[in-house]
Structure 1
Amino acid sequence: MNLSLRQPVLLALALSVSPVAGADYLWLERSAGQGAKSYFSDLQPGEHLPVAQLQNPRVVLGDGKTAPMKAGVDSFAIEDAPPGDLRVAAQREQGSTLTLYQAREGRSETRPQNDLELVPTTPGGNTFALYWKGTVVPASQVNVYTSEQWTRSLKPAADGTVTLVTPFPARYVLEVSAQVNGGASVEGKRYDSVIHVSTLSFEVRK
């Protein structure tokens, strides 16, 4: 199953950012047991991109701790996924452009860990706030794709949150992305363009 999200989001941050057209993205899916897989996808439904083109794939454990992910052909495998919401990250360097991919599976926790993350305002809820490095920021648009080929673009309420209706059982994926205008330095290296792409996925059962 490949999940595709089509439109970027413009973030009103303390720094200057602009929308990203045609961003690919990383997303998570848990298995019935303790394992999970992270897929790298583009805008075409039913397709996965090779994960070998990504660098530094890791499970984000919190408190600055990470664990490596095992790379397959079209996915990363997390054989012993930690309990609670699961987070992973990876990156891709293309010349002077750095794309930082962040993904979260689950909506039980109401605090962020990734730099750019959609977070439920209540455990298991359908209203989400967007966080940038621990601070709530308004999102002008959040995009939704589901395993049932149902898509939506969510607009924020006055307080900047977005609310998603989940009318049927499916896997839901929410995506936001933004580009830092003028570039930025990451881990001591300067890039002309730095793009952040973040997803939140969860499953609604019958």
Structure 2
Amino acid sequence: MFSSFRIRSISLAAALLATAGAAQADYLWLSRDGAAAAARVGELDKTPQPAASVTAPRAFLADGKDLPLTVEADRVRIPGAAAGTDLRAVASRVTGENTLTQYQARWGRTETKAVNDLELVPTEPNGNTFKLVWKGNTVAASQVNVDTAEGWRRVLKPAKDGTVTLTTPFPGLYVLEVTARVNGAVTVDGKKYEEVRHTATLSFDVPR
């Protein structure tokens, strides 16, 4: 069994971001099995979306070194991720006529520095308190909704410094997710998108 923590809505101090709508959205999340890792699209407790539904998948370490990957039916397999290291993966998907979603995933909580544009970062190695970072700047979450596979749900409010703290009462896989909207349009490969969303996850295992 596992537990999943999903941060569904936030308010950001940075002017570039606005809170996303309340509707639940798919996200990209990472899991590991020793030196192998996998990225999946969807929600942790549901059947994954086809891996081919996202474009430009990339996996890399904190130093920016790319890792080889293979796109399979329901996952992007990452065979060369050494155990004990934090890992990132990114991809994008057109989720509406004029909407582009940028997926950003992280596995592990040993590093206290953000690498992705939008990332949840532990305030201390392997800690349970996290800050939200947008392009190097710390921003505050306004509300954290907590779901678990066992049906345990909570709504967490941030501390005065904007950080969020969770407890990990169950062993297994945890996924923290946050979605934000960028103010302004963007053009990618000649196509203009009026709305750009960033969906970021942080996943880790709690041992039995």
TM-score, length basis structure 1: 0.87
- Asked whether the equivalents of residues 146 and 153 of structure 2 are also in contact (C-alpha less than 8 Å), the reply is yes
C-alpha change, 1:81 and 1:63, in structure 2 (3 Å) is: closer
Name the % identity.
52
Residue 165 of structure 2: aligned partner: 163
Whole-Å separation in 1 of the counterparts to 2:112 and 2:60? 16
More relative contact order, 1 or 2 (CA 8 Å, 6+ apart): 2
> How many equivalent residue pairs?
204
Q: Secondary structure at the match of 2:52?
A: helix
The counterpart of 1:135, out of the listed 134, 137, 154, is 137
C-alpha change, 1:173 and 1:150, in structure 2 (3 Å) is: farther
Whole-Å separation in 2 of the counterparts to 1:189 and 1:112? 29
Q: CA deviation at 1:68?
A: 4.8
Q: CA deviation at 1:140?
A: 1.0
Residue 57 of structure 1: aligned partner: 57
Residue 116 of structure 1: aligned partner: 118
Whole-Å separation in 2 of the counterparts to 1:110 and 1:184? 30
Deviations 1:76-106 (A, max 9, x none): 1001114511110100124321100011111
- Pairwise CA RMSD: 2.5
Please, which moves more after superposition, 188-197 or 68-77?
Answer: 188-197
Instruction: Specify every segment of 5 or more residues in structure 2 that has no aligned partner in the other structure, as ranges.
Output: none
Find out whether 1:48 has 2:48 as its counterpart. yes
Letter in 1 for 2:50: P
- Asked whether the equivalents of residues 5 and 147 of structure 2 are also in contact (C-alpha less than 8 Å), the reply is yes
C-alpha change, 1:14 and 1:203, in structure 2 (3 Å) is: same
The counterpart of 2:31, out of the listed 29, 35, 45, is 29
C-alpha change, 1:4 and 1:202, in structure 2 (3 Å) is: closer
Please, which moves more after superposition, 61-70 or 47-56?
Answer: 61-70
Residue 77 of structure 2: aligned partner: 77
Whole-Å separation in 2 of the counterparts to 1:97 and 1:158? 33
Please, which moves more after superposition, 52-61 or 8-17?
Answer: 8-17
Whole-Å separation in 2 of the counterparts to 1:203 and 1:159? 26
Deviations 1:159-178 (A, max 9, x none): 00000111221211111101
C-alpha change, 1:153 and 1:66, in structure 2 (3 Å) is: farther
Please, which moves more after superposition, 60-69 or 189-198?
Answer: 60-69
Residue 152 of structure 1: aligned partner: 154
Deviations 1:109-154 (A, max 9, x none): 0000000000000001000010001111111123444454434332
Q: Secondary structure at the match of 1:30?
A: strand
- Asked whether the equivalents of residues 130 and 163 of structure 2 are also in contact (C-alpha less than 8 Å), the reply is yes
Whole-Å separation in 2 of the counterparts to 1:17 and 1:134? 17
Q: CA deviation at 1:184?
A: 3.5
- Asked whether the equivalents of residues 10 and 139 of structure 1 are also in contact (C-alpha less than 8 Å), the reply is yes
Residue 90 of structure 1: aligned partner: 91
C-alpha change, 1:149 and 1:186, in structure 2 (3 Å) is: farther
C-alpha change, 1:143 and 1:122, in structure 2 (3 Å) is: same
